[in-house]
A and B are shown apart, each in its own frame.
Chain A
Amino acid sequence: MTTTRPTSEPTRAGREGGELQETERMVSTGGPGRGPMGGGMVGQKAMTFGPSVRRLLGRLRPQRGRAVAVVVLAVASVGLTALGPRLLGEATDIIFDGFLAERPIDFDAVRDVLLLVLGVYVVASLLSWLQGYVLNDVVQGTVRRLRSDVEDKVHRLPLEYVDRQPRGELLSRVTNDIDNVSQTLQQTMSQLLTSLLTVVAVLSMMLWISPVLALIALVSVPISMWVTSRIMRHSQTQFVAQWRRTGQLNAHIEESISGHALVTVFGRRREVEEAFAEQNDALYDASWRAQLVSGLIMPVMMFVGNLNYVVIAVVGGLRVASGTLSLGEVQAFIQYTRQFTQPLTTIASMINLLQSGVASAERVFELLDAPEQTPDAVGAAAASLPPGGRGEVRFEHVSFSYDPAEPLIEDLSLVAAPGQTIAIVGPTGAGKTTLVNLVMRFYELDAGRITLDGVDIAALPRDELRGRTGMVLQDAWLFGGTLRDNIAYGRPGATEEEVLAAARATYVDRFVQSLPEGYDTVVDEDGGNLSAGERQLLTIARAFLADPALLILDEATSSVDTRTEVLVQRAMAALRSDRTSFVIAHRLSTIRDADLIVVMEDGRIVEQGTHAALLAAEGAYARLHRSGAGGAPVDGVGTAEAAVTGHENPVVPAGRPT
């Protein structure tokens, strides 16, 4: 709780105790908001712009051949396109000469030149089309691989990594950031390439025609660069402000919508809307400033271009008047000036765009560079479970912690005989969930080992271990799909009858019948309008269908009412017989008949034994059982229901078996 360890506790509670669902729900709703995550980075990360761009380009390597082809095609088509005005200028000169000399224009010569130009243009367009076509394939292929690399990575990330950061943050990386990268690549690659080449090509054409005029035109380059960098620096601070405001507003929206019912019943709608309006105004203020500053690039660059144009026209005109240049050359030159400033403008706005794309790429790369879980042993090194193993689980001097500074589980030993039901009880933060997660090898041990049927689980391929294990988590995760699909997730290929049987055995069938579309009801990601209890029943049905050798129930029925729970317990009892089960439950009533009750406190086992033995021992369990005398910040959930069984109640016959 906040009272004791304000900084570390929320994280730990999030992993361990009843807060999990709540925390995750809150964070995950932050996922779709594109703003705060993507935008905020632009400012902070601009320092590593270069390396990230290089790395992004490096991802084109598998398609090196095609990438080279793109560059060659681009060079050829840009070169030819740049030649166009020069040749057209020649035609103009012929016309102008004839015009000036007041003799018939040599239209045969004009025709020859124009036919040549026509050919050049056709070929240039063709090459440019080919270039765009191949580049498109290259970019889409690269994006596709980037996505699949990220997805790949998600499955190799250790859970510690996933737990450690806010879920919305990770989600933002795998969705918004990749989108942004792919959009940026698609929009900028082609234009940047051709613009850069065009600048070079046009510049050389200009130098060819008139070095003096070319030098004048060149002056616009540093001016453009200076202007662009000034504007970009401003736009960056403005964009940071905009994204910060967006983040704040999104947080407010998120909270108001998540707490919708409360806002309504407390009649707070007006206040919430006022606060919203205030922040919305602040965002508006930041946004239009950001848009204004970044929107300045185009007009300002065009102005620089126009200045250039004016100077060229004047100087060029003077030079023709003085006879140093031909009119056709000036005309061509003016066209080149246009062709020169336009790509400069494009480059400036593309770099602006690229910045946000690169910031996203960096975040994606960070994810790709994250440490991975130790790979499974392969081949000869890989162990396998003995056939006919009955599910004996042994903890031998197990130690584990998320954070070395705060040991969580220390030197814990425990034996679960085949077929036994092991109940784990204890206050929030005692390490119950962690303990069962270790059996699934969701985390790697710091010391000691865990064996299943005598085999060290660290030597087993994870799939083999988990394939034998069924788990129902307190986090009732459903995916977007029908209820039927969600149940069948436990065992793909299960028949309709098997799914229905599992649903009936776990009392899912009852509430499904009241839904308009029955088993075809589509649940959305957050479970739609199913209650917490209904969602839990669904996940139990899923595990029921999976029919595993080793069963782990982590607060599986905490949101189910007691009567339904009794029914589910019966089904689960049938399921549990013959298989080793670990059960974490906050209602002590549901675990009284466990073969072994393990009481945990601060990552250690403080007691173990049967219900009767532990009660007789008058230790931690008996205290827990008598419950809540302390009241205060013990495990709010863990001890809550204990009282029911502890206190005498009129219906219960005296001397009931315990």
Chain B
Amino acid sequence: MLLRLLRTHLAPYRRWLAIVVVLQLSATVAMLYLPSLNADIIDDGVAVGDTDTIWRLGGVMLAVSVVQIVCSVLATWFAARAAMAFGRDLRGAVFGQVMAFSGREVGTLGAPSLITRTTNDVQQVQMLAMMGSTMAVTVPIMMVGGIVMAMREDLGLSWLLAIVVPALFLCVGVVVSQMVPSFRLVQERIDEVNRVLREQVTGLRVVRAFVREPLERERFAVANDSLTEVSVRAGRWLATMFPLVMLVVNVSSVAVIWFGGLRVDSGETQVGALTAFLSYLMQILMSVMMGTFMLMQVPRSAVCADRIAEVLDTPSSVVPPARPVTAVSLRGHLDLEGVGFTFPGAAQPVLRDVSLQVRPGETVAIIGATGAGKSTLVNLVPRLIDATAGSVRVDGVDVRELDPDLLWSRVGFVPQRAFLFTGTVAQNLRHGRPEATDDELWQALEVAQARDFVEAVPEGLEAPITQGGSNVSGGQRQRLAIARAVLRRPEIYVFDDAFSALDQATDARLRAALAPQTRDAAVLVVAQRVSSIRDADRIVVLDDGAVVGTGTHEELLAANPTYQEIVASQHGVEEAA
């Protein structure tokens, strides 16, 4: 998963990465060249007593150092750009995918989780890309370069490398193979501990009300202990790594002196070369250690990458049509025919064989118990979800074949939870129609019975709305949401229990004001309160996902037991029988 993400989303920055590779290569070569120069100083300068050579080679070393820093800084520049651009693109991809989801996918994956995946998880993977683009290049170059240079200094000693390097790999390999699964486990346990803590904080009142502190404490203690347990295990392997690598390298440096000494004695090599050989050995060690650091970040990023990939790999259950219908002749027609909806894998369908029709100027109301499928039903109209059986037709065309923009422009939807965006009242209303004038905004507010309270605020239309609309009351929020839909002048209105927070009088005034607006439109209303739908042209009674009655208030009252029950329930328990 991690590799796939990196491969796909780093691809556009191949050129930058290529530059990084070249620059790092130069920087590393420069760095590798320094011990060799040092060897020359010793052999050609110090040993011979040639101060000029010492000065000259010193100057060369300085120049090489400058080359190295220039290359390193430039490489950091390009690497930072590439890695952050990668993060930006990945974030964009995840966000785009989430926005293309239907309500079903958002519900299944959960909004908080989707937010985490778009923000935090992307950040983790981006960090790895950053580390990777600097280290993944440097480490191998340093390693290979170190080996090559060491061999160049003294080929006769290179058999030592043939022992040291594999030994190093073996040690690191054993430790890393033990460590990586532990780190993965650590990440999972951290998530678990955080989940328990998050639940305790969000549910603090409930925890206290039910005196469940001891239980919660125990849950936490278990999670904390098991986290500590794997962390200790992973940490111990980590603690083993460095002494082990150090030992290998130090022992081999002793070996270099011993065997190198023998070669110096036989005149096969020079003392300066020996020193250089030692330095290269150190560099090989450094590169191995740096590589290990990167490997430690991998498990954490891998977990995040999996979560990101899950989002990217989840297809939206609502797909825009390949050849959308962009023009329709009818206006204000809504037909549901034999509509059914079942969650994947669910034993019982949420909706079964629901048919209804709404014609221009008509109001059809849907009433039924919690869980009867009312919200699911209305969500089918703007294609927040797609029916699993039957068809939903707007103006005679199946919504699955309509151009989405055309569909959405025709449907004015007011959801159960009146959600407002951060900004001002005007900005929120203009979500409905960006080009609307202030006058039109005021008209819409008037219809929605929201004019008075917006007028009462000094800022008026420019009054700020905080996140989620938490600075206005539930009733005000609903009225603003209604105004937003009215402003669009749609031809199909869908109100999902959108009047629940309004008092009877406001409700009545609103319906009266809405009537002329909806003269040529189809109106579909979900309601809990009988009083607000009594005047509907037709009332559809939904029970357990099926239509159990259709008719006017009077007709249903006379003949439909479910409807009678609902009506009675709104007048207190004693009359229910």
Q: Which of A110, A271, A565 lies in contact with B258, CB distance below 8 A?
A: A110
Q: Give Cα A539 to B106, complex, Å.
A: 24
Is B388 on the interface with A (CB-CB < 8 A)?
A: no
Smallest CB–CB gap between B181 and chain A, Å? 17
Interface centre among B27, B506, B576 (most CB of A within 10 A): B506
Q: Which of A440-488 contact B (CB under 8 A)?
A: 440, 442, 462-463, 466-467, 469-471, 473, 475, 477, 479-480
Q: Is the CB of B84 within 8 A of A291?
A: yes
A147-177 interface code vs B (CB 8 A; 1 in, 0 out)? 1101110110001001000010011001100
The yes or no answer to B363 lying at the interface (CB within 8 A) is no
**Contacting residues, chain B, for A546 (C-beta < 8 A):** 210
Which chain A residue lies CB-closest to B48? Answer: A321
Contact in complex: A589, B371 (CB < 8 Å):
no
Instruction: Check B202–A10 contact: CB distance below 8 A.
Output: no
CB of B210 within 8 A of CB of A632, answer no
The complex places the Cα of A24 from the Cα of B54 at a distance, in Å, of 72
User: Interface extent on B, as a size class?
Assistant: 35 or more
How far is the CB of B529 from the nearest CB of chain A, in Å? 6
B431 & A266 in contact (Cβ 8 Å cutoff): yes
Question: Which residue of chain B is the closest to A559 with respect to CB atoms?
Answer: B370
Cross-interface CB contact of A652 among B27, B34, B408, B571, cutoff 8 Å: B571
Interface residues of A in 409-462 (CB under 8 A from B): 428, 440, 442, 462
Residue of B nearest to A570 (CB): B573
Q: How far is the CB of B75 from chain A (nearest CB, A)?
A: 8
- Is the beta-carbon distance between B200 and A480 smaller than 8 angstroms? no
Q: Does A516 contact B (CB under 8 A)?
A: yes
Classify the interface of chain A: helix, strand, loop or mixed.
helix
Alpha-carbon distance A23/B91, docked complex (angstroms): 26
Closest beta carbon of chain A to B293's beta carbon, Å: 9
Digit string of B84-114 for contact with A (CB within 8 Å is 1, else 0)? Answer: 1101100110011011110100111011111
Question: A167 contacts which of B123, B202, B213, B346 (Cβ < 8 Å)?
Answer: B202
Tell me which of A100, A136, A255, A313 contacts B239 (CB under 8 A).
Answer: A136
Question: Are A561 and B368 in contact, with the CB atoms below 8 A?
Answer: yes
Cβ-defined contact, A637 with B475, below 8 A: yes
Shortest C-beta distance, A432 to chain B (Å), equals 15
Q: Confirm or deny: B552 has a beta carbon within 8 angstroms of a beta carbon on chain A.
A: no
Contact indicator B113/A631 (Cβ below 8 Å): no
- Contact: A33 with B116, CB < 8 Å? yes
In the complex, whether A609 has a CB less than 8 A from a CB of chain B is no
A54, CB-defined interface residue at 8 Å: no
Q: Does B396 contact A (CB under 8 A)?
A: no
Answer whether residue B182 sits at the interface, using C-beta atoms and an 8 A cutoff: no
Answer yes or no: B1 CB below 8 A from chain A CBs: no
Q: Is B197 an interface residue (CB 8 A)?
A: yes
With A129-B240, A573-B573 in contact, is A171–B198 under 8 Å at CB? yes
Chain A residue nearest to B103 (CB atoms) is A261
Stretch at the interface among B139-147, B324-332, B440-448, B562-570: B562-570
Pairwise interchain contact B453-A462, C-beta atoms closer than 8 A: no
Q: Which of A128-159 contact B (CB under 8 A)?
A: 128-129, 132-133, 135-137, 139-141, 143-144, 147-148, 150-152, 154-155, 159
- Contact A639 B467, beta carbon cutoff 8 Å: no
For B432, the chain A residues whose CB sits under 8 A away are 266
* B-chain residues with CB within 8 Å of residue A287 when the two chains form the complex: 80, 84, 87-88
Determine the residue in chain B with the shortest Cβ distance to A77: B243
- B566 contact set on A, CB distance < 8 A: 562-563
* Interface residue? A645 (CB, 8 A): yes
Interface-forming stretch among A57-65, A358-366, A522-530? A522-530
A230 partner residues in chain B, CB cutoff 8 A: none
Q: Does A29 contact B (CB under 8 A)?
A: yes
Interchain CB contact (< 8 A) of A644 among B211, B478, B502, B504: B504
Name A649's contact: one of B99, B193, B484, B531 (CB within 8 Å). Answer: B531
* Alpha-carbon distance A93/B51, docked complex (angstroms): 21
Any B CB within 8 A of the CB of A202 = no
- Residue-wise, chain A 363-392 has the 8 Å CB interface mask toward B (1 for contact) of 000000000000000000000000000000
- If A3-B457, A110-B258, A125-B250 touch, whether A23 touches B111 (CB-CB below 8 Å) is no
Q: Are B101 and A260 in contact (CB under 8 A)?
A: yes
Q: Determine if B205 and A475 form an interchain contact, defined as CB atoms under 8 angstroms apart.
A: yes
B244 within 8 A of A: yes
Contact of A499 with B by CB under 8 A = no
Closest to A98 in B: B265
The proximity string for B residues 448-481 relative to A, scoring 1 for CB distances below 8 Å and 0 otherwise, is: 0100110011000001101111111111101000
Of the candidate stretches B4-12, B61-69, B162-170, B511-519, the one touching chain A is B61-69
User: Considering the complex, which residues of chain B in the window 538-577 have a beta carbon less than 8 Å from any beta carbon of chain A?
Assistant: 545, 557, 564-576
B484 CB to closest chain A CB (Å) equals 8
Binary contact track B255-286/A, C-beta < 8 Å → 1, others 0:
00110111011000001001100110010000
- Chain B residues with CB below 8 A from A35, complex form: 119-120, 123
Q: Does B303 lie at the interface of the complex (its beta carbon under 8 Å from any beta carbon of A)? A: no
Q: Is A331 an interface residue (CB 8 A)?
A: yes
A43 proximity list for chain B (CB < 8 A): none
Q: How far is the CA of A251 from the CA of B115 in the complex (A)?
A: 10
Which of B91, B134, B213, B468 meets A295, CB within 8 Å?
Answer: B134
- Is residue B405 within 8 Å, beta carbon to beta carbon, of the partner chain? yes
B91 to chain A, nearest CB (A): 6
Contacts known (A260-B101, A309-B61); A314 close to B370, Cβ less than 8 A: no
Q: Spot the interface stretch: A203-211, A215-223, A298-306.
A: A298-306
CB-CB nearest in chain A for B81: A288
Interface stretch, picked from B151-159, B353-361, B411-419, is B411-419
Report yes or no: B472 in contact with A1, Cβ–Cβ below 8 A. yes
Whether the Cβ atoms of A440 and B99 lie closer than 8 Å is no
> B-facing mask of A91-126, CB < 8 A → 1, else 0?
110011011100011010011001001100110111
CA distance A212 to B347 in the complex (A): 85
Within 8 A of A (CB), among B8-60: 27, 31, 34, 37-38, 41-42, 45-47, 49-51, 54-55, 58
A469 and B115 in contact, given A81-B246, A148-B224, A631-B505 (Cβ under 8 angstroms): no
**Which of B68, B275, B474 neighbours the largest number of chain A CB atoms within 10 Å of its CB?**
B474
Docked CA distance A542–B195 (Å): 21
**Which residues of A lie under 8 Å from residue B174 when comparing CB positions?**
none
Across-interface contacts of B437 in A (CB, < 8 A): none
CA distance A550 to B211 in the complex (A): 14
Q: Give complex CA distance A237, B332 in Å.
A: 57
B271 in contact with A128 (CB, 8 Å): no
How many Å lie between the Cα of A170 and that of B198 in the bound state? Answer: 9
Q: What are the residues of chain B within 8 A of A466 when measuring CB–CB?
A: 208-211
Q: Are A151 and B115 in contact (CB under 8 A)?
A: no
In the assembled complex, the Cα of A542 lies from the Cα of B206 at a distance in Å of 11
**Chain A: CB-nearest residue to B278:** A335
Closest to A560 in B: B370
A139:B279 contact, CB within 8 angstroms: no
Within 8 A of A (CB), among B198-238: 198-213, 215-217, 220-221, 224-225, 227-228, 231-232, 235-236, 238
Q: Is B76 an interface residue (CB 8 A)?
A: yes
**Chain B nearest CB: distance from A263 CB in Å?**
7
**A268→B431 contact, CB < 8 A:** yes
Determine the residue in chain A with the shortest Cβ distance to B383. Answer: A264
Bound CA span A173–B232, Å? 23
B503 in contact with A628 (CB, 8 Å): yes
Decide: B80 and A295 in contact? CB cutoff 8 A. Answer: yes
**B502 contacts which of A107, A529, A636 (Cβ < 8 Å)?**
A636
26 contacts between A and B (CB under 8 A): A14-B470, A19-B474, A26-B470, A29-B112, A35-B123, A104-B265, A121-B250, A186-B231, A259-B421, A266-B408, A266-B488, A280-B88, A296-B76, A313-B58, A327-B47, A335-B278, A473-B205, A489-B210, A492-B215, A526-B111, A529-B108, A564-B369, A564-B370, A636-B503, A651-B567, A651-B571
Q: Which 5 A-B pairs have the closest CB atoms?
A: A636-B475, A628-B503, A643-B504, A132-B239, A299-B72
Knowing that A132-B238, A155-B217, A306-B68 are A-B contacts, what are 12 other residue pairs whose CB atoms are under 8 Å apart, sorted by A's residue number?
Answer: A28-B112, A32-B120, A111-B258, A147-B193, A170-B201, A249-B91, A255-B467, A277-B92, A299-B68, A524-B110, A629-B505, A642-B503
